[in-house]
Structure 1
Amino acid sequence: MNTNRTVRTVVATAAATLLPFAVLGAGSASATVLDPFGPACASVPKDGSGSFDAMAKVPVATAASQNPELSTLVTAVKQAGLVDTLNNAQDITVFAPTNAAFAKVPQADLAKVLADKAQLTKILTYHVVGEKLTPAQLESGSFTTLEKGKLTTSGSGESYKVNGTANVVCGDIGTANATVYMVDSVLMPPMT
């Protein structure tokens, strides 16, 4: 286990115990700044719009719209009409494909999915789990998504995979209503 991560977790737990009523977000006592990790976290601004502190104060779809690495995901969420659904959900985890993840999808296929609201909604809701997941829960997990499919996670320390193929490139990002793990591949729900 990563010693630095363990120390940060102990400090964060102690702070949470000592300051249970600290309000990080406007009107939201549940906003949480977690302990982001991963190589893509370096692209997140240190302060201001899009920073981890700023994202902790707003709901997940709004937070994603402030992150330049998630602009394709935000376009897809808007196209599917899921902005309010995600912003109003409580205690969720979003495995958020980066722009690079969407770039792996052939352009014609991506355009076809973006034009099919039902299919787009199915794919996007497969990236959402109805509970906030900690990195420890990702070590060997199986979770039901809002799409009703299952996804699996594995790994440890600061190295995690989703469904055995997608890497978490920046994880444990807190928003007012969600925990976000940015991934380097678009997850596809099981075919039914």
Structure 2
Amino acid sequence: MMNKTAQLLTLGAISLTLLGCANTPAPAPLADTLGRDAQLSTFNRLVDQAGLRDSLRGAGPLTVFAPSDEAFTALPAKTLEALSQDSAQLKAVLSYHIVAGKLPTAEVKNGNVKTLQGANVAISKAGSYVTVEDAMVQRADVAATNGVAHIIDRVLVPPKK
């Protein structure tokens, strides 16, 4: 039989283990993983508005270059308002931030990758720095069950067709 001290220590260890598990979010699809990031509230609102939430919950794998709230703040207010009014253009812009396949930073090679929007984006890596077009990856390799996301400092605008 355990003495009182041993029982208390065992209960304490179990409690700490359970507490640690509760603080670590369970692996989730990109939609949910990005949805719980406070720095991505604008991106998440626009994903919902464009009807892309289900795509980001799909089987994937996908790579999302998600602009931070700061990146959206840098856009002219008229541009953001126009995007909010035009769902086709909004969907095109957001799809320009998504690539089919899982592309963690360790696998980034300098060159072009095709986006779900249809156009290519230039990606490059120098040491630990990764860029997509003229955007810098601020936080890399946000893991999800159906891919990976990278938080970027600018909103990418697809080329005019």
Please tell me the TM-score bracket, short chain as reference. Answer: 0.7 to 0.9
Tell which deviates more after alignment, 170-179 or 56-65: 56-65
Partner of 1:184: 153
Partner of 2:9: none
Alignment partner of 1:58 is 2:28: yes
Determine if contact 1:136/1:156 at 8 Å carries over to the other structure: no
Determine if contact 1:139/1:156 at 8 Å carries over to the other structure: no
2:135 corresponds, among 166, 180, 184, to 166
Partner of 2:10: none
Determine if contact 1:113/1:120 at 8 Å carries over to the other structure: yes
Give identity over the alignment, percent. Answer: 35
Q: Output one character per residue of 1:79-108: Cα deviation in whole Å (capped at 9) or x when no partner.
A: 101101111141110000000000010112
Residues 103-122 of structure 1 mapped to structure 2, 5 A cutoff: 103-122=73-92
Deviation at residue 64 of structure 1 after TM alignment: 1.0
Deviation at residue 69 of structure 1 after TM alignment: 0.6
Residues 51-130 of structure 1 mapped to structure 2, 5 A cutoff: 53-54=24-25, 57-130=27-100
The structure in which a higher percent of residues are strand is 2
TM-score, with length taken from structure 1: 0.69
Measure, in 2, the Cα distance between the counterparts of 1:68 and 1:100.
11
TM-score, with length taken from structure 2: 0.82
Aligned length: 140
**Aligned-partner SS, 2:91:** helix
Deviation at residue 111 of structure 1 after TM alignment: 1.0
Determine if contact 1:127/1:187 at 8 Å carries over to the other structure: yes
Q: Could you say which structure has the larger radius of gyration?
A: 2
Letter in 1 for 2:106: A
